[in-house]
């Protein structure tokens, strides 16, 4: 993406001015700014709200304050810290990216856009944010908040088609200033998150109200109407021996990828291990993901001793005292903690 070379736009000047007075400068990733900290925060903020991210970010940074600390972490440890944050592929990508940074960049965060955007989990917008915030080199960004602000300001479609994305990237590039890039980038993200809301933009307090082509007349589009998520029924079987639980590494990409869960089994299918025991408990829970509602049934079987399985699946007997060391979906972890 080419950087804007024209004079700074009115939009960018107003946003910088607004950010310096009203921006969320107290967010933890806006203190002691480094490329590493911006990277972790930007990955966590993908598809997740600021207030949800804050405790996870603090925990992650306290455990891995820099690349040196992260370099020896294994995938499991990173996934364990991600438990409850969702979109677990992000944690797997952080693991893959830090391995590349270690092998190809001598464990120093890359400094060029082209090197950063090639790292797993980093798209053009995230790479632009790292360049602009950490290195203060102007690059456009286009996350959901920025898309909304620019599309309304310019009155152009924001319907996620290739055509409108291309147009919005061009406009984002046009508005990206040469000066004050640090304040502008964070300011436009903050404005989208706190004033130019999805359903009810607060135009009355917006610094862009005089020039925005949609000010005071934004109508919720059909695309923005919240749609119902489908429901997926899941049957789990959980073997237990004293305080140890038989868990399997989930490979499915649609959700909970890379996490440890009980075995998912068709209710008509026999247990793949000894079944000379009655179910001791059946637990039913409902859990919402961003794109799916889960209707979960877990049948728990008690055994005297742990046993081995003949299977190609990756499994482990995990002692309850160690569950914090494994990446596990929050509802599964909560159930095991109570057993
Ligand atoms: S004036 Fe209203 S619609 Fe335009 S950017 Fe501001 S909040 Fe959004």
| HEC profile of 43-88 | HHHCCCCHHHHHHHHHHHHHHCCCHHHHCCCCHHHHHHHHCCCCCC
Tell me if residue 279 falls in helix, strand or coil. strand
What separation in angstroms does the CA of 224 have from each of 221, 235, 253?
Answer: 5, 33, 26
Closest ligand 1 atom, residue 148 Cα:
8
Residue 69 CB contacts under 8 Å (≥ 6 apart), including other chains: 63
pLDDT tens-digit profile of 257-300?
Answer: 889 999 999 888 888 887 777 778 899 999 998 888 999 999 99
By the 8 A CB rule, do 116 and 131 touch?
Answer: yes
pTM of the entire predicted model: 0.85
The two beta strands, 231-241 and 293-302, are: parallel
Q: Determine if ligand 1 sits within 6 Å of the CB of residue 198.
A: no
By the 8 A CB rule, do 293 and 232 touch?
Answer: yes
What average pLDDT score do residues 209-233 get?
78
Q: Determine if ligand 1 sits within 6 Å of the CB of residue 150.
A: no
- pLDDT for residue 78: 96
Confidence tier at 251 by pLDDT (50, 70, 90): confident
Q: Is the pLDDT of residue 1 over 50?
A: no
Token digits for 12?
Answer: 């960018």
> Above pLDDT 90, what percent of the chain?
76
What average pLDDT score do residues 183-211 get?
95
Q: Is the pLDDT of residue 180 over 60?
A: yes
By the 8 A CB rule, do 79 and 88 touch?
Answer: yes
How much distance in Å is there from the Cα of 202 to the middle of ligand 1?
Answer: 7
- pLDDT for residue 339: 86
Confidence tier at 41 by pLDDT (50, 70, 90): very high
- pLDDT for residue 221: 53
Q: Which active-site residues does the annotation give?
A: 42
Residue carrying the six token digits 């995938």: 75
- pLDDT for residue 2: 45
| Mutation choice for ligand 1 from 19, 144, 147, 149, CB with most ligand atoms inside 8 A | 149
Token digits for 7?
Answer: 């004079």
Q: Range with the lowest mean pLDDT among 43-57, 193-207, 211-225?
A: 211-225
By the 8 A CB rule, do 208 and 155 touch?
Answer: no
Q: Determine if ligand 1 sits within 6 Å of the CB of residue 152.
A: yes
Q: Which residue has the higher pLDDT, 137 or 223?
A: 137
Q: Is the pLDDT of residue 226 over 70?
A: no
The full set of domains in the chain, from first to last, is: 10-222 (1.10.340.30), 231-338 (3.90.79.10)
Residue 308 CB contacts under 8 Å (≥ 6 apart), including other chains: none
How much distance in Å is there from the Cα of 187 to the middle of ligand 1?
Answer: 14
Q: Determine if ligand 1 sits within 6 Å of the CB of residue 296.
A: no
Q: Determine if ligand 1 sits within 6 Å of the CB of residue 188.
A: no
Type and span of the H or E element at 168 = helix 162-175
């Amino acid at each position: 993406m080419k950087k804007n070379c024209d004079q700074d736009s009115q939009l960018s000047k107003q946003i910088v001015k607004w950010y310096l007075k009203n921006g969320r400068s107290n967010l933890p990733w806006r203190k002691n700014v480094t490329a590493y900290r911006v990277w972790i925060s930007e990955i966590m903020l993908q598809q997740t709200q600021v207030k949800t991210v804050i405790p996870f970010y603090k925990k992650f940074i306290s455990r891995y304050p820099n690349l040196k600390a992260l370099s020896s972490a294994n995938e499991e440890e990173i996934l364990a810290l991600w438990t409850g944050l969702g979109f677990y592929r992000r944690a797997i990508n952080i693991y893959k990216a830090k391995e590349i940074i270690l092998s190809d960049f001598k464990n120093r965060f890359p400094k060029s856009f082209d090197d950063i955007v090639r790292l797993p989990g980093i798209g053009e917008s995230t790479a632009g944010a790292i360049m602009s915030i950490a290195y203060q080199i102007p690059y456009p960004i286009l996350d959901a908040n920025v898309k909304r602000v620019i599309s309304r300001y310019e009155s152009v479609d924001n319907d996620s088609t290739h055509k409108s994305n291309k147009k919005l990237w061009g406009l984002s590039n046009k508005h990206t200033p040469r000066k004050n890039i640090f304040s502008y980038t964070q300011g436009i993200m903050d404005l989208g998150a706190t004033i130019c809301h999805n359903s009810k933009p607060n135009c009355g307090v917006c610094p862009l109200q005089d020039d925005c082509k949609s000010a005071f007349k934004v109508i919720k589009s059909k695309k923005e109407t919240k749609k119902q998520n489908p429901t997926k029924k899941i049957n789990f079987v959980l073997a237990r021996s004293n305080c140890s639980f038989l868990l399997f590494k989930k490979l499915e990409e649609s959700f909970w990828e890379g996490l440890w869960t009980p075995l998912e089994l068709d209710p008509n299918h026999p247990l793949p291990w000894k079944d000379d025991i009655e179910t001791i408990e059946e637990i039913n829970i409902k859990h919402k993901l961003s794109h799916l509602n889960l209707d979960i049934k877990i049948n728990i079987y008690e055994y005297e001793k742990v046993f081995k399985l003949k299977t190609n699946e990756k499994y482990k007997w995990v002692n309850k005292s160690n569950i914090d060391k494994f990446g596990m979906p929050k509802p599964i972890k909560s159930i095991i903690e109570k057993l």
